[in-house]
Amino acid sequence: MALLLGIDIGTSSVKAVLIDREGAVLSLSRQEYSFDIPRKGWAEQDPEVWWQAVRHTVREVVRKTNPRPSRIDGIGFSGQMHGLTPLSSDGKPLRKAIIWCDQRSIAQVEKIRGVFGTEKLGTITRNPIATGFQLASLLWMKENEPHIYDKISHVLLPKDYVRYRMTGRLSTDITDASSTLALDVRHGCWAREVLDRLELNAGFYPPIFMPDEEAGVVTPEAAQATGLEAGIRVFQGGADQVMQAIGNGIIAPGQVSVTIGTGAQIFSPIASPFYDKALRSHTFNNFCRGSWYFMGATLGGGLSLKWLRDNIFPKGTSYQDMNNLAEKIPPGSEGLVFLPYLAGERTPHMDPYARGMFFGLQLNHTAGHLVRAVMEGVVFSLKDCLAVFYEMGQECQRVIASGGGAQSALWLQIQADVLQRPVYTSRMTEQASVGAAISAGVGAGVYADYVEACSAVIRWNDRPHLPIRQNADAYEEYYRLFRDLYATNKESMRRL
């Protein structure tokens, strides 16, 4: 029996899952952590925290199923995108990683825009430049921490660092490399023109592979740390959005995934590397050569609900407790609207100065209203992303929801009502980890290709959440108000 291990390096946790060829989950382990905010607008994580969480989760998975580790056919990875992990010549991190929701590089983003201009940047990278992307973070480090920058030998994305600890080999995959903004998305190679004009060392960047290509094998040191057996084949894996899409069976144009995790994203495969000329969304490389995907991203997805729970609600309040309160509140939260821009915003505003807002508070509003307004505001922001997708001439045949937001029937119904599409869910859990395991299975020859793999593994629930006409009509008016609130307050947010 084939066994495949998928490991997802998230922003708030590491998840490891062991599946068989048919996708049956044999064991699952999760280790939570947080990220550091050493200054306003900064966001960092210690790479050692990722590695220790991987050690714990993999040991748990092995212990729960007690398989002979030699029976594992392959290990694949999924990881949070955009982050910067700088390494010295001996492979040690030089500082904590700067992750995707970091806002410190505002000046560097403006500098990059000034050097290239919107049209030229779009031609090369097919993407806007934004804070939190590895390219901007690296330029910030060069200009603000030269004593660290001068010691850099390699730069890695988060999952690539963990895989390096597992195999001792430096590499990346094309799906994650495209999220650095240092990649020529059309040709799938490092964008030397971008790096040269910014005077960044192209030698920092590792070789690029496809997600199903072999990255190495588990080293004796990693085997001792994780409970695995040395010599197990390790595969590249990919960016979390690509892996969760595979874990949902989304491998062809026309299918759209809506993920509410720490952030929130709209994702859909596309047939060519076209892009939004206004640079409000992202066009990245997908899991096969000559394939790409559209992504619209909002930074404050599940992060907004976590902020509300951790800072406003009594200690010990669970997400289920909050969900129960919100279920008692009618659609529209009785006139309370939330803008989820707690960490600035990407699609469609690309505005690091954007700020969160509760608008319309009255004496009748309760804790339940706050929760429901947050849920609705996150989905309004996702509707902004989907609007860009439609403007680009694309179609949405069905929506597949995943992430923590898919665990709430209320949040799923809000998605159906606001987006005005049936919302399906997968029967699989931890789709990003499963997608990583599937990629390893394709690489190891367990499956002939991704089509066969998804056919064998992925099952969707038959009954989608359908839009309720009365709710959808009400949300249209609230959505217009949501958009107006940002436009009206944009300059005031910047003044803050």
Rg (CA), the chain: 22
Tell me, yes or no, if 240 is annotated catalytic. Answer: yes
Enter the DSSP assignment of 33: -
Out of 73, 173, 240, 384, pick the active-site residue: 240
The C-alpha atoms of residue 330 and residue 241 are separated, in whole angstroms, by: 32
Burial class of residue 63, CB neighbours in 10 A (0-12, 13-18, 19+): exposed
Secondary structure of residue 273 in the 3-state scheme? coil
Residues 158-202 have pLDDT tens digits of: 999 999 999 999 999 999 999 999 999 999 999 999 999 999 999
Residues 146-166 have pLDDT tens digits of: 999 999 999 999 999 999 999
Place of tokens 């952030």: 263
Asked if 27 contacts 6 with a C-beta cutoff of 8 angstroms, the reply is: no
How far is the CA of 275 from the CAs of 96, 115, 195, in angstroms? Answer: 33, 20, 21
Set out the domains of the chain in order of their start, with CATH numbers: 3-242 (3.30.420.40), 250-425+466-496 (3.30.420.40)
Q: Is 188 left (phi over 0), alpha (psi -120 to 50) or beta?
A: left
Spell out the per-residue pLDDT of the chain, length 496, in tens.
789 999 999 999 999 999 999 999 999 999 999 999 999 999 999 999 999 999 999 999 998 887 666 689 999 999 999 999 999 999 999 999 999 999 999 999 999 999 998 788 888 888 988 899 999 999 999 999 999 999 999 999 999 999 999 999 999 999 999 999 999 999 999 999 999 999 999 999 999 999 999 999 999 999 999 999 999 999 999 999 999 999 999 998 888 999 998 889 999 999 888 899 889 999 999 999 989 999 999 999 999 999 999 999 999 999 999 999 999 999 999 999 999 999 999 999 999 999 999 999 999 999 999 999 999 999 999 999 999 999 999 888 789 998 888 899 999 999 999 999 999 998 888 899 999 999 999 999 999 999 999 999 998 888 999 999 999 999 999 999 999 999 999 999 999 9
pLDDT, position 409: 96
Q: List Cβ neighbours of 27 (8 Å cut-off, separation of 6 or more).
A: 17, 18, 60, 61, 64, 65
